[in-house]
Amino acid sequence: MAVSLNFEKLVADFYAPLYQFAFSLTRDEAASCDLVQETFCVWANKGHQLREASRVKSWLFTTLHREFLNSRRKETRFPQVELENAEAELPTTAPVSVNQLDTAQLLAALSKLDELFQAPVALFYLQDYSYAEIAEILEVPLGTVKSRLARGLDRLHQILTGNKSANPKSKNL
């Protein structure tokens, strides 16, 4: 039997102690507020599964701690770096004079793309469709659309610049 608790009362009763716990973990006001908010968001989605009302406090604190650990893992795996601090690590690419390209040149280059990449690129850049809309139109998964767009743009860049290795990670398309 699930527990039915008033959400507003739950927030009023536990916001301050959860915030204090979050602040002790993060030492940052904004991050602490985000953790508490995420904890209550998880409660809104999954709190109905709790069977004993006496366990609400420990459930909330456990959830906050798990969210904290998940955020730390994410920061470790995907660190955020200021662009100014990472300029030396960014690849240098010779800019194509896009302003000097005319529509005919661009369409000619687009027509040289494999059909697999041509449709997603044209739909995204010429017709302004979203990834989801393109996935629906082409009847492929969203990840496939993103992959084909990235590979198609890389190949288009190669065609426009005559550079065979625009992206060293890409395979010969």
- Residue 142 CA to residue 57 CA, distance in Å, equals 39
Which CATH architecture best describes the domain 7-77? Orthogonal Bundle (1.10)
- Residue 65 CA to residue 25 CA, distance in Å, equals 9
* Entry pTM: 0.47
Cβ within 8 Å of residue 97, ≥6 positions away: none
CATH topology (fold) of 98-161: Arc Repressor Mutant, subunit A (1.10.10)
| Residue found under tokens 């697999």 | 116
| Residue found under tokens 């979203």 | 130
What are the tens digits of pLDDT across the range 94-128? 555 555 566 777 788 888 888 888 888 888 878 88
Domain-by-domain residue ranges, the chain? 7-77, 98-161
What are the tens digits of pLDDT across the range 33-48? 999 999 999 999 998 8
Check if the beta carbon of residue 138 is closer than 8 Å to that of residue 119: yes
Check if the beta carbon of residue 94 is closer than 8 Å to that of residue 52: no
